[in-house]
Amino acid sequence: MTDHALLLVNLGSPASTKVADVRRYLNQFLMDPYVIDLPWPVRRLLVSLILIKRPEQSAHAYASIWWDEGSPLVVLTRRLQEAIKAHWPHGPVEIAMRYGQPALPEVLERLAAQGVRQVTLAPLYPQFADSTVTTVVELARQTIAARNLPLQTRVLQPFYDQPAYIDALVASARPYLDQGYDHVLLSFHGLPERHLTKLDPTGSHCFKSANCCETACSQVRKVCYRAQCLASAEAFAKAAGIAPGNWSAAFQSRLGRAKWIEPYTETRLDELAAAGVKKLLVLCPAFVADCIETLEEIGMRGREQFVEAGGQELVLVPCLNDHPEWVRVLAGMCEQA
Protein backbone atom coordinates (compact mmCIF):
# COMPACT_ATOMS: atom_id res chain seq x y z
CA MET A 1 0.00 0.00 0.00
CA THR A 2 1.47 3.34 -1.05
CA ASP A 3 0.61 6.78 0.21
CA HIS A 4 -1.45 8.21 -2.67
CA ALA A 5 -5.19 8.02 -1.97
CA LEU A 6 -8.12 8.49 -4.30
CA LEU A 7 -10.99 10.42 -2.70
CA LEU A 8 -14.34 10.38 -4.50
CA VAL A 9 -16.54 13.28 -3.39
CA ASN A 10 -20.27 13.51 -3.99
CA LEU A 11 -22.96 15.94 -2.89
CA GLY A 12 -24.34 14.10 0.13
CA SER A 13 -27.58 13.09 1.75
CA PRO A 14 -29.51 13.30 5.01
CA ALA A 15 -28.60 10.61 7.54
CA SER A 16 -32.18 9.33 7.44
CA THR A 17 -35.65 10.32 6.30
CA LYS A 18 -36.49 11.81 9.71
CA VAL A 19 -37.50 15.45 9.49
CA ALA A 20 -34.78 16.48 11.97
CA ASP A 21 -32.06 14.82 9.89
CA VAL A 22 -33.39 16.36 6.68
CA ARG A 23 -33.52 19.80 8.33
CA ARG A 24 -29.90 19.43 9.51
CA TYR A 25 -28.77 18.41 6.02
CA LEU A 26 -30.68 21.20 4.25
CA ASN A 27 -29.30 23.78 6.66
CA GLN A 28 -25.72 22.72 5.93
CA PHE A 29 -26.37 22.59 2.20
CA LEU A 30 -28.25 25.87 1.83
CA MET A 31 -25.96 27.84 4.16
CA ASP A 32 -23.00 27.10 1.89
CA PRO A 33 -22.18 30.50 0.32
CA TYR A 34 -21.36 28.73 -2.94
CA VAL A 35 -24.94 27.41 -3.06
CA ILE A 36 -26.84 30.52 -1.99
CA ASP A 37 -24.42 33.30 -2.82
CA LEU A 38 -25.94 36.05 -0.70
CA PRO A 39 -24.46 37.95 2.26
CA TRP A 40 -24.56 35.86 5.44
CA PRO A 41 -27.40 37.75 7.21
CA VAL A 42 -29.61 37.57 4.12
CA ARG A 43 -28.70 33.93 3.54
CA ARG A 44 -29.42 33.04 7.17
CA LEU A 45 -32.83 34.70 7.03
CA LEU A 46 -33.73 33.09 3.72
CA VAL A 47 -32.63 29.61 4.80
CA SER A 48 -34.50 29.94 8.10
CA LEU A 49 -37.67 30.69 6.15
CA ILE A 50 -37.07 27.75 3.82
CA LEU A 51 -36.54 25.45 6.80
CA ILE A 52 -40.02 26.14 8.17
CA LYS A 53 -41.78 23.81 5.72
CA ARG A 54 -39.17 22.37 3.38
CA PRO A 55 -37.71 19.67 5.68
CA GLU A 56 -41.06 17.91 6.10
CA GLN A 57 -41.74 18.06 2.37
CA SER A 58 -38.27 16.79 1.52
CA ALA A 59 -38.49 14.05 4.16
CA HIS A 60 -41.53 12.62 2.36
CA ALA A 61 -39.65 12.76 -0.94
CA TYR A 62 -36.60 11.02 0.52
CA ALA A 63 -38.82 8.36 2.12
CA SER A 64 -40.29 7.57 -1.30
CA ILE A 65 -36.87 6.61 -2.76
CA TRP A 66 -34.94 5.43 0.34
CA TRP A 67 -33.38 1.98 0.13
CA ASP A 68 -33.01 -0.62 2.88
CA GLU A 69 -29.25 0.06 2.81
CA GLY A 70 -29.80 3.81 3.15
CA SER A 71 -29.61 6.82 0.84
CA PRO A 72 -29.35 5.73 -2.82
CA LEU A 73 -26.71 8.41 -3.48
CA VAL A 74 -24.48 7.21 -0.65
CA VAL A 75 -25.05 3.51 -1.37
CA LEU A 76 -24.25 3.94 -5.06
CA THR A 77 -21.15 6.02 -4.33
CA ARG A 78 -19.93 3.26 -2.00
CA ARG A 79 -20.50 0.70 -4.75
CA LEU A 80 -18.43 2.87 -7.09
CA GLN A 81 -15.73 3.04 -4.42
CA GLU A 82 -15.57 -0.74 -4.14
CA ALA A 83 -15.54 -1.22 -7.90
CA ILE A 84 -12.74 1.27 -8.53
CA LYS A 85 -10.36 -0.16 -5.92
CA ALA A 86 -9.11 -2.76 -8.37
CA HIS A 87 -8.13 0.07 -10.76
CA TRP A 88 -6.25 2.20 -8.19
CA PRO A 89 -3.03 0.52 -7.00
CA HIS A 90 -1.52 3.65 -5.45
CA GLY A 91 -3.27 3.63 -2.06
CA PRO A 92 -6.66 3.64 -0.40
CA VAL A 93 -9.87 4.63 -2.17
CA GLU A 94 -12.29 6.58 0.03
CA ILE A 95 -15.51 8.49 -0.41
CA ALA A 96 -16.68 11.70 1.20
CA MET A 97 -19.75 13.90 0.99
CA ARG A 98 -19.74 17.68 0.81
CA TYR A 99 -22.82 17.71 3.06
CA GLY A 100 -23.68 15.01 5.56
CA GLN A 101 -21.66 11.86 6.18
CA PRO A 102 -18.98 10.74 5.62
CA ALA A 103 -17.85 14.34 6.03
CA LEU A 104 -15.00 15.53 3.82
CA PRO A 105 -12.90 17.12 6.63
CA GLU A 106 -13.00 13.98 8.76
CA VAL A 107 -12.08 11.73 5.83
CA LEU A 108 -9.09 13.93 5.00
CA GLU A 109 -7.95 13.83 8.62
CA ARG A 110 -8.29 10.05 8.74
CA LEU A 111 -6.24 9.66 5.55
CA ALA A 112 -3.48 11.83 6.97
CA ALA A 113 -3.48 9.76 10.17
CA GLN A 114 -3.04 6.62 8.05
CA GLY A 115 0.15 7.99 6.56
CA VAL A 116 -1.30 9.17 3.27
CA ARG A 117 0.56 12.18 1.91
CA GLN A 118 -1.00 12.67 -1.53
CA VAL A 119 -4.67 12.71 -2.43
CA THR A 120 -6.29 12.79 -5.85
CA LEU A 121 -9.53 14.61 -5.14
CA ALA A 122 -12.29 13.62 -7.53
CA PRO A 123 -15.43 15.77 -7.33
CA LEU A 124 -18.03 13.57 -9.04
CA TYR A 125 -19.49 16.32 -11.20
CA PRO A 126 -19.01 16.23 -14.98
CA GLN A 127 -19.74 19.96 -15.42
CA PHE A 128 -18.16 22.84 -13.51
CA ALA A 129 -20.07 25.05 -11.07
CA ASP A 130 -19.05 26.92 -7.95
CA SER A 131 -21.87 25.17 -6.09
CA THR A 132 -20.41 21.75 -6.86
CA VAL A 133 -16.73 21.69 -7.79
CA THR A 134 -15.45 24.90 -6.18
CA THR A 135 -17.09 24.27 -2.81
CA VAL A 136 -15.51 20.79 -2.61
CA VAL A 137 -12.04 22.00 -3.56
CA GLU A 138 -12.21 24.99 -1.20
CA LEU A 139 -13.42 22.91 1.75
CA ALA A 140 -10.56 20.48 1.20
CA ARG A 141 -8.04 23.31 0.96
CA GLN A 142 -9.38 25.04 4.07
CA THR A 143 -9.43 21.80 6.05
CA ILE A 144 -5.86 20.91 5.16
CA ALA A 145 -4.67 24.41 6.11
CA ALA A 146 -6.73 24.78 9.30
CA ARG A 147 -5.86 21.32 10.64
CA ASN A 148 -2.26 21.45 9.40
CA LEU A 149 -2.61 18.16 7.56
CA PRO A 150 0.49 16.96 5.64
CA LEU A 151 -1.51 16.35 2.47
CA GLN A 152 -0.89 17.41 -1.11
CA THR A 153 -3.92 17.32 -3.42
CA ARG A 154 -4.47 16.94 -7.11
CA VAL A 155 -7.94 17.62 -8.46
CA LEU A 156 -9.85 15.82 -11.18
CA GLN A 157 -11.06 18.57 -13.50
CA PRO A 158 -14.60 18.66 -14.97
CA PHE A 159 -14.88 16.05 -17.71
CA TYR A 160 -18.10 17.13 -19.42
CA ASP A 161 -16.65 16.79 -22.95
CA GLN A 162 -14.14 13.99 -22.47
CA PRO A 163 -14.78 11.37 -25.19
CA ALA A 164 -14.27 8.51 -22.74
CA TYR A 165 -16.90 9.96 -20.38
CA ILE A 166 -19.36 10.45 -23.25
CA ASP A 167 -18.73 6.90 -24.43
CA ALA A 168 -19.42 5.57 -20.91
CA LEU A 169 -22.64 7.58 -20.81
CA VAL A 170 -23.72 6.09 -24.13
CA ALA A 171 -22.77 2.57 -23.02
CA SER A 172 -24.85 2.89 -19.85
CA ALA A 173 -27.85 4.24 -21.78
CA ARG A 174 -27.62 1.88 -24.76
CA PRO A 175 -30.00 -0.83 -23.44
CA TYR A 176 -32.70 1.83 -23.02
CA LEU A 177 -32.02 3.52 -26.35
CA ASP A 178 -32.25 0.16 -28.12
CA GLN A 179 -35.77 -0.38 -26.75
CA GLY A 180 -37.02 2.55 -28.83
CA TYR A 181 -38.23 6.04 -27.99
CA ASP A 182 -39.93 9.06 -29.48
CA HIS A 183 -37.63 11.61 -27.85
CA VAL A 184 -34.65 11.77 -25.50
CA LEU A 185 -34.55 14.55 -22.91
CA LEU A 186 -31.29 15.32 -21.15
CA SER A 187 -32.25 17.01 -17.89
CA PHE A 188 -29.46 18.77 -16.01
CA HIS A 189 -29.61 20.32 -12.56
CA GLY A 190 -30.38 24.01 -12.83
CA LEU A 191 -28.62 27.04 -11.37
CA PRO A 192 -29.61 30.67 -10.84
CA GLU A 193 -28.47 32.78 -13.79
CA ARG A 194 -26.38 34.97 -11.49
CA HIS A 195 -24.11 31.97 -10.72
CA LEU A 196 -23.09 32.06 -14.37
CA THR A 197 -22.96 35.80 -15.02
CA LYS A 198 -20.64 36.49 -12.09
CA LEU A 199 -18.09 34.01 -13.52
CA ASP A 200 -18.26 35.30 -17.10
CA PRO A 201 -14.64 36.35 -17.80
CA THR A 202 -15.64 38.43 -20.81
CA GLY A 203 -18.57 40.27 -19.26
CA SER A 204 -20.34 39.95 -22.58
CA HIS A 205 -21.29 36.29 -22.89
CA CYS A 206 -23.97 35.19 -20.46
CA PHE A 207 -27.53 35.54 -21.77
CA LYS A 208 -26.58 38.25 -24.26
CA SER A 209 -28.05 36.21 -27.12
CA ALA A 210 -30.36 33.25 -27.60
CA ASN A 211 -27.51 30.91 -28.50
CA CYS A 212 -24.77 32.40 -26.31
CA CYS A 213 -23.79 29.04 -24.79
CA GLU A 214 -23.66 27.22 -28.11
CA THR A 215 -21.19 29.79 -29.46
CA ALA A 216 -19.18 30.31 -26.26
CA CYS A 217 -15.43 30.70 -26.67
CA SER A 218 -13.09 28.33 -24.82
CA GLN A 219 -12.39 30.95 -22.15
CA VAL A 220 -16.08 31.21 -21.33
CA ARG A 221 -16.87 27.52 -21.68
CA LYS A 222 -14.24 26.70 -19.06
CA VAL A 223 -16.46 28.25 -16.34
CA CYS A 224 -19.93 28.32 -17.92
CA TYR A 225 -22.07 25.54 -16.47
CA ARG A 226 -24.84 25.91 -19.03
CA ALA A 227 -22.43 25.83 -21.96
CA GLN A 228 -20.81 22.70 -20.56
CA CYS A 229 -24.18 21.00 -20.06
CA LEU A 230 -25.23 21.74 -23.62
CA ALA A 231 -21.87 20.49 -24.88
CA SER A 232 -22.35 17.23 -22.94
CA ALA A 233 -25.86 16.84 -24.37
CA GLU A 234 -24.75 17.45 -27.95
CA ALA A 235 -21.76 15.11 -27.64
CA PHE A 236 -23.96 12.38 -26.15
CA ALA A 237 -26.60 12.68 -28.87
CA LYS A 238 -23.95 12.55 -31.60
CA ALA A 239 -22.16 9.56 -30.08
CA ALA A 240 -25.45 7.73 -29.49
CA GLY A 241 -26.63 8.37 -33.04
CA ILE A 242 -29.73 10.34 -32.03
CA ALA A 243 -31.12 12.53 -34.80
CA PRO A 244 -31.11 16.31 -34.11
CA GLY A 245 -34.89 16.57 -33.83
CA ASN A 246 -35.18 13.62 -31.46
CA TRP A 247 -33.42 15.04 -28.43
CA SER A 248 -33.35 18.19 -26.32
CA ALA A 249 -31.80 19.51 -23.12
CA ALA A 250 -33.41 21.23 -20.14
CA PHE A 251 -32.73 22.18 -16.51
CA GLN A 252 -34.52 20.95 -13.39
CA SER A 253 -34.66 21.50 -9.59
CA ARG A 254 -35.48 25.19 -9.35
CA LEU A 255 -35.64 26.67 -5.85
CA GLY A 256 -36.80 30.13 -4.84
CA ARG A 257 -37.77 33.13 -6.97
CA ALA A 258 -34.45 33.90 -8.65
CA LYS A 259 -34.17 33.63 -12.42
CA TRP A 260 -32.79 30.17 -13.25
CA ILE A 261 -31.20 28.96 -16.45
CA GLU A 262 -33.60 27.76 -19.14
CA PRO A 263 -35.28 25.86 -20.65
CA TYR A 264 -36.99 24.36 -17.61
CA THR A 265 -37.52 20.60 -17.49
CA GLU A 266 -41.06 21.04 -16.14
CA THR A 267 -41.99 23.18 -19.13
CA ARG A 268 -40.26 20.84 -21.56
CA LEU A 269 -42.20 17.81 -20.28
CA ASP A 270 -45.50 19.55 -21.06
CA GLU A 271 -44.25 20.72 -24.46
CA LEU A 272 -43.10 17.26 -25.49
CA ALA A 273 -46.38 15.65 -24.45
CA ALA A 274 -48.32 18.32 -26.35
CA ALA A 275 -46.16 17.70 -29.42
CA GLY A 276 -47.25 14.07 -29.50
CA VAL A 277 -44.28 12.40 -27.82
CA LYS A 278 -45.55 9.18 -26.28
CA LYS A 279 -42.40 7.40 -25.10
CA LEU A 280 -39.86 9.74 -23.54
CA LEU A 281 -36.41 8.71 -22.32
CA VAL A 282 -34.87 11.01 -19.70
CA LEU A 283 -31.20 11.09 -18.75
CA CYS A 284 -29.73 13.26 -15.99
CA PRO A 285 -26.06 13.73 -16.99
CA ALA A 286 -25.26 16.29 -14.29
CA PHE A 287 -25.37 13.40 -11.81
CA VAL A 288 -23.17 10.30 -11.88
CA ALA A 289 -25.20 8.53 -9.16
CA ASP A 290 -28.95 8.30 -8.83
CA CYS A 291 -30.38 10.47 -6.09
CA ILE A 292 -33.53 12.30 -5.06
CA GLU A 293 -33.29 14.61 -8.10
CA THR A 294 -33.34 11.65 -10.49
CA LEU A 295 -35.37 8.98 -8.70
CA GLU A 296 -38.07 11.19 -7.16
CA GLU A 297 -38.08 14.46 -9.11
CA ILE A 298 -37.89 12.86 -12.56
CA GLY A 299 -38.76 9.21 -11.98
CA MET A 300 -41.88 9.95 -9.95
CA ARG A 301 -43.09 13.56 -10.21
CA GLY A 302 -41.76 14.05 -13.74
CA ARG A 303 -43.34 10.82 -14.92
CA GLU A 304 -46.67 11.78 -13.39
CA GLN A 305 -46.56 15.23 -15.00
CA PHE A 306 -45.68 13.84 -18.44
CA VAL A 307 -48.52 11.29 -18.38
CA GLU A 308 -51.04 13.84 -17.13
CA ALA A 309 -49.99 16.13 -20.01
CA GLY A 310 -50.79 13.43 -22.57
CA GLY A 311 -47.65 11.32 -22.80
CA GLN A 312 -47.78 7.58 -22.30
CA GLU A 313 -44.44 6.50 -20.87
CA LEU A 314 -41.48 8.27 -19.27
CA VAL A 315 -38.45 6.02 -18.86
CA LEU A 316 -35.77 7.26 -16.48
CA VAL A 317 -32.37 6.03 -17.66
CA PRO A 318 -30.22 5.25 -14.61
CA CYS A 319 -27.16 7.37 -13.94
CA LEU A 320 -23.69 5.94 -14.48
CA ASN A 321 -23.66 4.60 -10.90
CA ASP A 322 -21.19 1.66 -10.87
CA HIS A 323 -21.49 0.71 -14.54
CA PRO A 324 -18.28 -1.18 -15.48
CA GLU A 325 -17.42 1.18 -18.34
CA TRP A 326 -17.83 4.21 -16.07
CA VAL A 327 -15.61 2.59 -13.41
CA ARG A 328 -12.89 2.04 -15.99
CA VAL A 329 -13.19 5.54 -17.42
CA LEU A 330 -13.24 7.30 -14.05
CA ALA A 331 -10.19 5.36 -12.90
CA GLY A 332 -8.37 6.37 -16.08
CA MET A 333 -9.24 10.05 -15.68
CA CYS A 334 -8.14 10.01 -12.04
CA GLU A 335 -4.87 8.33 -13.06
CA GLN A 336 -4.22 11.14 -15.54
CA ALA A 337 -5.09 13.75 -12.92
Known binding-site residues for Fe(2+) equal 189, 293
Binding residue numbers: 189, 293
Q: What angle (nearest 5°) sits at the alpha carbon of residue 219, between those of residues 218 and 220? A: 90
Nearest alpha-carbon partner for 10 in 119, 94, 117: 94
CA atoms 11, 138, 329, 237: torsion sign? positive
Residue 99 backbone phi and psi in degrees, to 5: -130, 135
Residues 298, 56, 97, 193, Cα dihedral to 10° = 60
Q: How far apart are CA 133 and CA 80, in angstroms?
A: 19
* Secondary element (H or E) of residue 174: helix 163-177
Residues 132 and 126 sit within 8 Å (Cβ to Cβ) = no
Instruction: Give me the residues paired with residue 311 across strands.
Output: none
